[in-house]
């Protein structure tokens, strides 16, 4: 019984089940004093083991509840029945810049707006490549390698899915398939496509299209940026955090030069916050 429920009982002159109320309060206390600190400690410990000591430097590598409990999140648990602890920080420790120069003659022919548009398209691709590579590298280094039950492609994929789907610990009681994502290299994605094309019962997949988005009830993607040798990375949504900050550099005239400089600055960090919900196959 939450505090707001107790208030409502008093207001309406109802009776309180003392035993039930004490049991609920005890359960809430266990969540606040033990479960949430252990949960956040696990995130901090995993980050430290994987090379990010940001949480450790913030004093989060401890089971002391005062280091993890958030005031608003705690009040929500007491009054509403659900809430949260302080999130474990992720270090933004990668700084990149993509700066280009355009000669005055090119500006005269194409205009600064046209040059910026072309450069922006190139920079977006460079940004995507770096972010995806770092994201998948962290996921691969943090996840658990699958030992498949067979060599057929559907056995491998289903093995990855089920290993995530059936995860149970102090914080997770199974993972729904609609929260699982699979990223495959191009060869594995093609093998899955062949499996769909040759199958006789694929009513939920349109095999006439060049790209499909669902296989065995989970989202599936193809990427050329997986680490070398990795064929599949499966993960629960949110298993890897990658905060990003972008800053555009406006065009300026370069001193002692007949050129303009412009570009993009970006900063990011990447951390596996739920490594037990990441499964890889190589």
- Which of 8-12, 61-65, 256-260 is predicted most confidently? 256-260
- Tokens representing 2 are 């939450």
pLDDT of residue 232: 95
pTM greater than 0.75: no
Read off the pLDDT band of 146 (50, 70, 90): very high
Q: What is the pLDDT of residues 172-184, one digit of tens each?
A: 788 888 889 999 9
Mean pLDDT of 105-127: 72
196 backbone dihedrals φ, ψ, rounded to 5°: -70, -40
> Rounded to the nearest 10 degrees, how much is the dihedral formed by the CA atoms of 213, 216, 218, 221?
-40
State the DSSP code for 66.
G
Beta carbons of 119 and 263 less than 8 angstroms apart: yes
Beta carbons of 89 and 54 less than 8 angstroms apart: yes
Question: Alpha carbon 102 to chain centroid distance?
Answer: 37
Least confident of 107-111, 182-186, 269-273: 107-111
Please check the confidence at residue 160 and state whether its pLDDT lies above 90.
yes
Beta carbons of 271 and 240 less than 8 angstroms apart: yes
């Amino acid at each position: 019984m939450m505090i707001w429920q107790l208030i409502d009982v008093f207001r309406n002159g109802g009776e309180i089940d003392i035993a039930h109320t004490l049991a609920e309060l005890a359960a809430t206390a266990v969540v606040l004093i033990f479960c949430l600190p252990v949960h956040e400690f696990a995130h901090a410990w995993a980050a430290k083991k994987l090379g990010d000591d940001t949480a450790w430097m913030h004093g989060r590598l401890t089971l002391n509840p005062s280091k993890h409990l958030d005031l608003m999140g705690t009040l929500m648990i007491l009054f509403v029945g659900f809430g949260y602890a302080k999130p474990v920080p992720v270090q933004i420790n990668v700084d990149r810049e993509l700066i280009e120069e355009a000669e005055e003659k090119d500006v005269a022919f194409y205009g600064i707006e046209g040059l910026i548009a072309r450069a922006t398209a190139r920079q977006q691709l460079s940004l995507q490549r770096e972010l995806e590579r770092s994201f998948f590298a962290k996921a691969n280094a943090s996840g658990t390698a699958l030992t498949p039950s067979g060599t057929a492609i559907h056995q491998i994929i289903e093995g990855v899915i089920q290993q995530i789907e059936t995860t149970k610990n102090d914080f997770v009681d199974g993972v729904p398939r609609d929260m699982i994502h699979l990223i495959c290299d191009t060869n594995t994605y093609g093998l899955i496509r062949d499996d769909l094309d040759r199958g006789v019962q694929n009513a939920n997949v349109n095999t006439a299209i060049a790209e499909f988005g669902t296989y065995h009830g989970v989202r599936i993607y193809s990427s050329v940026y997986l680490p070398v040798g990795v064929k599949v990375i499966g993960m629960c949504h949110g298993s890897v955090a990658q905060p990003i900050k972008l800053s555009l550099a406006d065009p300026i005239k370069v001193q002692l030069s007949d050129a303009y400089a412009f570009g993009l600055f970006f900063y990011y960090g990447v951390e596996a916050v739920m490594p037990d919900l990441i499964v890889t196959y190589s």
